[in-house]
Chains A and B, each alone.
Chain A
Amino acid sequence: MKKKTLGKIISISGATVRTDLTGLTLFERVSVGEHNLTGEVVRLDKDGAVLQVYEDPSGLGLNEPVQGHGVSLATTLGPGLLSVMFDGLQRPLDALVEKTGPFIHPIHLSSTLDLTKQWSFTPFVNRGDTVAGGVKIGYVDEGPFQHPIIIPADKNGRVKNIAQGTITLDEPLCELDDGSKIFGYQSWPMRVPRPYRKKISPQGPVVTGQRIIDFLFPLARGGTSIIPGGFGTGKTILEQTIAKHADVDIVIYAGCGERGNEMSELIEEFLHLVDPRTNCPLMDRTVLVVNTSNMPVAAREASIYTAVTLGEYYRDLGFHVLLLADSISRWAEALREISSSLEEMPGEEGYPTYLASRLSSFVERAGVVETLSGDIGSLSMILSVSPPGGDFTEPVTQALLRTSGAFLMLDMTLANSRHFPAINWMQSYSLYQNILADYFKKNISNDWEVLRKLCREIMHKEESLKEIMEIVGIEGLQEQDRLVMTVAEKIRFDFLAQNAYTADAFCEPQKTMDIIRNITDQYLRGQDYTAGKSENETL
């Protein structure tokens, strides 16, 4: 059972607190001070511990109490998460408004989920059945979904009792013969990946509806794309547009250290937009984890773990999940602030030396898995990166380049000429293109690969002709080359660019193929024509 011990604060520096409390464990959750601020143990020594406080520490005093919870900082998982907006510590923001008004005050909120809400439960198992961790014992209806209830990973046994019909989360649904009670929700330590049977290699794509992504730099289910770009290059709009349209079951959107107005706009839109697949508001398939730039920095660090744990949970229920984070750089900066307040040895640009390993273990939590109950679920990620000064040689971009599978480089020049999405087609890449080629050929269009090659070829040619044209003008180019220039311009304007504020914000893969086929056909015909002409001339 939980051990509860009491100590006191002996030093405070910003949000970093020392306590004389012993017997704590690393990453254990603690309550700090008279107001029970949430904190986490970040360092242990023989006569005490160092704690990171996840809320505004102003007013925290010497000798105030510290209490260990005996468990790690955890994410609560169960029905009722969808369409809720949480802060980085998974406190529902609506409930916070009720408690403290339009401004967030440091406060302890007791529960993440509404435990008294009634759900209709349909069991899958009967008395006497043997169940193990991950097994689905039934489901509740939640919006457009059937939300399976699964046995927590560490439990197994024979079913002694199982509920049916109306239930609430505060009562056990099922009892096992060893006396353990199964509730409709569970909690999981956010920094630990959730278990699965095995990882399997990615098969299908995450269709984003962005032509340049789906056609040139596709993302595989279970894969990770990164979107680095300076300010104003369109990271947020791209993330949000994909969040609206991606063909996945569940979207987890982590607004990590960015603007408050952007988040309120997103919430507003998602409440009113209808998901064409389910005819329900988009919000019903979305969980928002919001820790804006002015909210406590340490909670910003925790926010992406809250988000990824939520993502893994839905994956374990057999869903296809997309985690979007905007921006992962703000997480890294939070890590840097915490590390420097702990007076750790800084690495490159002041980031802790473990930056790269933390990032790669985070990205590793994406993947397609066979779940403990034998289903297939996937968690894919699209992470925006905000490099200082738009310089991609900085540590966060570099570390992510090594672990992610697709690199969508946003280009300031394109953004300044209002070409959006400002993804640079020369420098970006996707390592998933080969895995996905078969899928696209089979399911979308036979000529996918051929057209892709041709399109890239035209864009490459344009790039090398551009310099010549700057000197001789388009009139000075040969007819063949002029054709390249006109077709490339058409590809840029009519195919690669996609205005997020119009109906063109989303494009079906079929339509994507039609548009590009149309343009490249013109190119091929034009080529035949000019070739024919020059033949005639030589005759």
Chain B
Amino acid sequence: MRLSEHKYRTTSRIAGQLLYVENVHAARIGEVVKVLGPHNIALEGEILEIVKDNILIQLFGETRGLNTENLEIIFTDTIRQVPLARDIIGRRFNGSFEPLDGLPMFYASEWRPARGYPINPVARLGPEEFIETGISAIDGLNTLVKGQKLPIFSCAGLPAKELVAHILQNARLRESSKRFAVIFVALGLTFNEYSFYLEALQNIESEFVAIINMADDPVMERLMAPRFALTVAEYMAFDEDMDILVLVTDMTNYCDALREISNARKELPGRRGYPGYMYSDLASLYERAGRIRDSKGSITMIPVITMPEDDITHPIPDLTGYITEGQIVLSRELHQQGVFPPIDVLPSLSRLMQKGIGPGKTRDDHRDLANQLYKNYAKGRELKKLEAIVGRDGMSEADQLLLDFADLFENEFVHQEKQTRSIYKTLDKGLEILERFDLLQHNLQKKTEA
């Protein structure tokens, strides 16, 4: 055991973000080191590997201008921690957790490791409380539940950020007596995207904390930013009993950063160059969402993913979908038809929907209604393919009806532009279009908000 910091000037090599120090007599895996250089250069790093007295350090921040001669390496004997306090609310930080809003750093009432600890599965409380987003395709057919992790799978050029902004502005829990806050994590964003989101955040009623890593910020910080955010989220949710919505965009940039750093470390590349541990790495983030016993708070997570080449089988959406509790999939085709939000409900899924809907939560007829809408739309879409071969005239009347239903479903149920719909409006809308086509089955009948 060491008692205090100790210093070395024995850098043997620098390669990109990696620093090698020799003749070190004590070090820990994950230990934070400070690196001081000429011209007031001050960086932080983390110990990755220890081979006898040779230490490999991963540096955060800009390494340009460093040389091996005059670096001072300080070993701090602590692992990477996040300062926490109630005053954190309303603040903005960069990927090294330094304030970006011009205000001084808050006084930390405690520190916790950025990587967090896994939630013990028996200490979890299953998600079951409905969150209204105001979006019919989500609330009606792919319901979001408190404590869920539900990503948005987008394609380059689709209005994912407009959708997210819409959710931010409208998301509310039916039982709204509790404090609700948003934690916004920007990963590798361009300035335009950043200002768009910031404006959206400033227009919402809820409180927020933002952790911002821009496109030209250090790549290593992109890996740390979501971890800082989640440590803050755990503090706010489980110590302060708040409902927290963590919005992370864009996880594709995160995964690319992971690949870049893995390659720099000369690790064995897996599928498409992404490291073999990407599944576990992503899980170490996504699984931090949830609820726990003995705490009233919750962490709900909405990560945004841009599917490279619009391909849902690409490792990034693929591994994400294997971990998250469903996915909201955006479609280029619907976007081209002018539908907003362009959510394709067929590949979309909320695995926790069944827990969050029905009597006492949304409405008694929700489940049945969702099934019927889904089933008829799925049939209609299937028939569209047939229509392309045989033409509309070659189809039976019943089939033509389903074709029209599918169109109407897209244009009136999914499409809602800037409108916000309460869950009751959403369900009524669904009932109405089923009725208009006489597709409503007897076990459902029109009910409106009491």
Contacts and interface: CB of A to CB of B under 8 A. Distances in A.
A390 B322 CA distance: 11
Contacts, number: 196
A466 B25 CA distance: 72
Interface in A45-98: 56-63, 85, 93-94, 96-97
Given A294-B288, A471-B389, A471-B390, A261 B117 contact: no
A403 interface: no
B116 A103 contact: yes
Interface in B245-282: 267-271, 276-277, 279-280
B268 A346 contact: yes
Contacts of A538: none
Contacts of B172: none
Contacts of B352: 261
Contact of A292 (B51, B121, B355): B121
A60 B279 contact: no
Contact of B51 (A11, A61, A104, A293): A11
Contact of B30 (A58, A102, A474): A58
A231 interface: yes
B13 interface: no
Given A11-B50, A268-B126, A475-B396, A340 B267 contact: yes
Contact of B386 (A255, A259, A470): A470
B292 interface: yes
Interface stretch (A137-145, A150-158, A238-246, A330-338): A330-338
A34 interface: yes
A13 interface: yes
B233 to A, nearest CB: 13
Contact of A12 (B29, B284, B292): B29
Interface in A27-52: 34
A231 B312 CA distance: 11
Contacts of B24: 62
B27 interface: yes
Interface string B299-341: 0000000000000011100110111011100000000000000
A470 B287 contact: no
A232 interface: yes
B103 interface: no
Contacts of A105: 117
A265 interface: yes
A334 B283 CA distance: 13
A268 B293 CA distance: 13
A60 B394 CA distance: 72
A258 to B, nearest CB: 8
A416 B347 contact: yes
A97 B276 contact: no
Given A333-B280, A418-B378, A264 B125 contact: yes
A101 B396 CA distance: 63
Interface in A274-303: 290, 292-295, 297
Nearest to A390: B313
B218 interface: no
Please classify how large the interface on chain B is, using the bins under 10, 10 to 19, 20 to 34, 35 or more.
Answer: 35 or more
B49 A93 contact: no
Given A261-B127, A337-B277, A94 B122 contact: yes
Nearest to A237: B351
A61 B26 CA distance: 7
Contacts of A293: 279-280, 283-284, 287, 323
Contacts of A12: 29, 49-50
Nearest to A10: B52
A58 B121 contact: no
B121 A473 contact: no
B296 interface: no
Contacts of B354: 501
Interface string B105-131: 000000001011111111111110000
Given A58-B115, A293-B287, A349-B271, A85 B292 contact: no
A104 B121 CA distance: 9
Contacts of A340: 267-268, 276
B58 to A, nearest CB: 12
Given A34-B1, A60-B28, A264-B125, 14 more contacts: A13-B51, A56-B117, A62-B25, A102-B119, A102-B120, A102-B292, A257-B280, A260-B121, A261-B147, A261-B325, A267-B121, A293-B279, A346-B268, A474-B396
Interface of B: 1, 24-31, 48-53, 79, 113, 115-127, 147-148, 238, 267-271, 276-277, 279-280, 283-284, 287-288, 290, 292-295, 313-315, 318-319, 321-323, 325-327, 346-347, 349, 351-352, 354-355, 371, 374-375, 378, 382, 386, 389-390, 394-396
